[in-house]
Amino acid sequence: MVSTSSDSESLVLYADYVCPFCYLGKRSLEQYRESRDEPLAIDWRPFDLRRGKRRPDGSIDHDVDDGKDEDYFAQARENVRRLQDEYGVEMAQEIAVEVDSLPAQQASWYVENTYPREWADFDAAIYEALWQDGRDIGDVEVLADLAADVGLPVDEIRDAIDDDGLRAELEERFDAAREQRITGVPTFVYEGQAARGAVPPAQLERLIDGT
C-alpha cells in the first residue's frame, strides 16, 4: 500500500516525461477515462528518473551505474513496441536516453500551480512533442513553443525554468515521492492502492472502481 495525502476522488499519477511507459500509461488512462460516465480528476506528482545521472549542464552521464545495461534497454524497447500495438499508439522513438526532462517538469510544475486549467493541455503537449514528434523537451525554446501553442504566457514559462526557488520546490516533490515509496513510474495511486507501469485500462478500472 502507498500512502498519499491526495483527495480520495483524484487519481494520483507519478510520472516523468522521459519515460516511454509514462506516455503509454497516459494513453491507457485516456482510454479508461473515455469509458467512464463520471469525470476523474488527475493529481500529477513529478518524478525524476535522471536524478543522480544529471551533469550540471543538464547532459546525462551514462557512466553512472544505475543498473540499466544494454539488456535492460533491449527489453524496454521490446515492451514499448508491444504496448504500442496493444494501445494503438504510434511513437517517433522508443527510448529517449539523452533527453533531460527537468526543464519540462519545472515548466509543468509552474503551470499546474499558476494556470491549472491549462495544465492538462500543456502536459499532453510535452508528451506529444517528445514521443510523437521527437523534439527535445529539455530545450527551453521547444517548451516556449509548446506554451504558446496552448495559450500560456511564454515569458513566464521561460522565467519559471530559470527560477531556482521553483527548482527547490520541485526537488522537494521528488523527495516526497520517494518518501511515499515510489520507486518507478508510471505509478497510479487511488485511495492508498497502487498500480505501477503502463497498465491496461481494465486494470485501472479495477484500481479505481474495484471491478
CATH number for 204? 3.40.30.10
Nearest-angstrom CA–CA distance, 118 and 111? 7
H or E element at residue 146: helix 140-149
Percent of the chain beyond pLDDT 90? 83
Q: According to DSSP H, which parts of 36-115 are helical?
A: 70-87, 102-114
CB 77 within 8 A of CB 116: no
3-class SS at 61? Answer: coil
Q: What is the pLDDT of residue 53?
A: 83
Q: Is residue 80 part of a domain?
A: yes
pLDDT > 80? residue 9: no
Specify if 5 maps to a domain: no
Residue 32 pLDDT: 96
- The whole-number pLDDT of residue 184 equals 93
Q: Answer yes or no: are the C-beta atoms of 1 and 194 closer than 8 Å.
A: yes
Structural domain total, the chain: 1
Cα–Cα distance, 24 to 131 (Å, whole number): 10
1 within domain boundaries: no
pLDDT number for residue 1: 47
Which pLDDT does position 67 carry in this prediction? 80
How many Cβ atoms are within 10 Å of 132's Cβ, its own excluded?
Answer: 15
Instruction: Dump pLDDT digits (tens) for 129-185.
Output: 999 999 999 999 999 999 999 999 999 999 999 999 999 999 999 999 999 999 999
Least Cα distance to 43 among 8, 69, 77 occurs for 8
Asked if residue 5 has pLDDT above 80, the reply is: no
DSSP state of 197: S
Question: What pLDDT, on a 0 to 100 scale, did the predictor assign at position 2?
Answer: 52
The answer as to whether 55 is a domain residue is: yes
- The predicted pLDDT at position 87 comes to 96
Task: Give residue 157's domain range.
Answer: 10-209
Asked if residue 66 has pLDDT above 60, the reply is yes
Gap between the Cα atoms of 209 and 188, Å rounded = 13
Tell whether 82 is covered by a domain.
Answer: yes
Q: What is the DSSP letter of 180?
A: T
In a domain, 199, yes or no: yes
Asked whether 110 and 48 are in contact (CB, 8 A), the reply is: no
For residue 52, the model assigns a pLDDT of: 81
